[in-house]
Amino acid sequence: MTPSLPDEHPFGESSRVLITGGTGSFGRAFISRTLVEFPHIKRLVVFSRDELKQWELQQQFPEKEFPQLRFFIGDVRDKARLLRALEGIDTVVHAAALKQVPAAEYNPIEFIKTNILGAENLVQACLDCDVRRVVALSTDKAAAPINLYGATKLCSDKLFIAANNIKGSRSLSFSVVRYGNVMGSRGSVVPFFLGRANSGILPITDPAMTRFNISLREGVDMVFWALQNAFGGELLVPKIPSYRIIDVAEAICPNCQKPVVGIRPGEKIHEEMITSADSFTTYDLGPYYAILPSDGSVQQLYLDKGIPLTPVQQGFAYNSSSNPDFLSVKQIRALIREHVDPSFAPL
C-alpha cells in the first residue's frame, strides 16, 4: 500500500465534495460548517434517500444564495446511482448508515445491505471515478461488537481501510473516523430524556452504564482534520469525555423517578473505541488516537509531515468506563444548553 499525500487544507475553490447521508444530524452540521468556512467551494453534493429532508435543507440553503449546493436523491445500496452522483467529485464523506441498535437486531439483513454492501458499493464507485479522498464515519459500537449494528460498521471500517490496498496507481486515500454518542443527535439519550421529562419518569437501562460523548461540532472538526491530514489506511479516534447515563437523567430531571428497566437487545453497559488488541498499532497523535496499518507505511508519512506519533502502551484500551475524563451533572447541563436547547432548564 502506498498512501497518497494529503492536501494542505480540507477544501479549496476547485473542491467538489459529496456527502452520503447528507440530511442526517452529522450531514446537516457538516454542510452548514462547510458553507460558512469554505463558501467558495466549487460543489457540495448532498446524497441521501429522503426527499422530504432534502427539501427542508433546500429551504434552509436556497439555491440563489448557495449555488454550489446540489441535492441528489439516491441510496448507497444502488451502485449505479452512486456512480452517477460521483461524476466530477474529488472528496467523499460517508455518513450514510442505518444506526438503531434494536432495529438492527430485528432487521439484520437491512443493516447488512446498507452498512456493508452500501460501503462496498461506495468503495467500488470511488475506484471507478476520479475521487481523491474518502473519509468514512464509524462508531464506538464497531469495536469488539456484540450487536448487529456494530458488526456491520466493523465490516464497513475494514472495507474502507482495505480499499487502500486495491487502489493501484490512483491518487486516492480511504480513512475512517470513529467516535461515540453525539450530543443531541436523533435517537440518542439526551433528546429521549428531554422528551420524557414532563412525564416525571426517566427509564434507566442500567445505573452503571457509561457512554462516550462528542458534539456535532467536534465530529465535524475531526472529519475536517482527517481530510486535511490523513494519508489513507488510518482509523482515527478522538479524545473525548464519558458520561454516566444516570448523570444525564439527573442533569435533565433531578425530580423524576428513575426506574431501572434493563438494557435493550444488543446493548453494552460500557462502550469502547480502541480495544487492547488494537494497542499494538495504535498511536497518540495529540488530539486523536490513530489505529494505523501494521506494515508501517503510514507512520513515517505522519512523522515527515511533522505530526508526532507516540505509541500507546501494549494492552492499552479506550473504554467509556475507564476513561479518565468524565462529565459532571453541571457540565452535562451546560452542554445541553450549548448543543441541544439554549433554553433548557432542569425539571
Length of the chain: 347
Using CA of residue 42, residue 47, residue 51, residue 52, what is the dihedral sign? negative
Q: How many CA atoms lie within 13 Å of 269's alpha carbon, on the beta-carbon side?
A: 6
Q: What is the DSSP letter of 204?
A: B
Residue 94: count other Cβ atoms within 10 Å of its Cβ.
Answer: 25
Q: What is the DSSP letter of 294?
A: T
Of 46, 238, 282, the closest CA to residue 138 belongs to 238
CA-to-CA distance for 59 and 53, rounded, in angstroms?
10
Catalytic-role residue among 99, 141, 153, 167: 141
Q: How many CA atoms lie within 13 Å of 231's alpha carbon, on the beta-carbon side?
A: 20
Look up 258 and say whether it is catalytic.
no
Q: How many CA atoms lie within 13 Å of 73's alpha carbon, on the beta-carbon side?
A: 8
Strand partners, 236: 177, 290
Cα diameter, the chain: 62
Whether residue 105 contacts residue 147, with contact meaning beta carbons closer than 8 Å, is answered with yes
Please identify every residue annotated as catalytic. 141
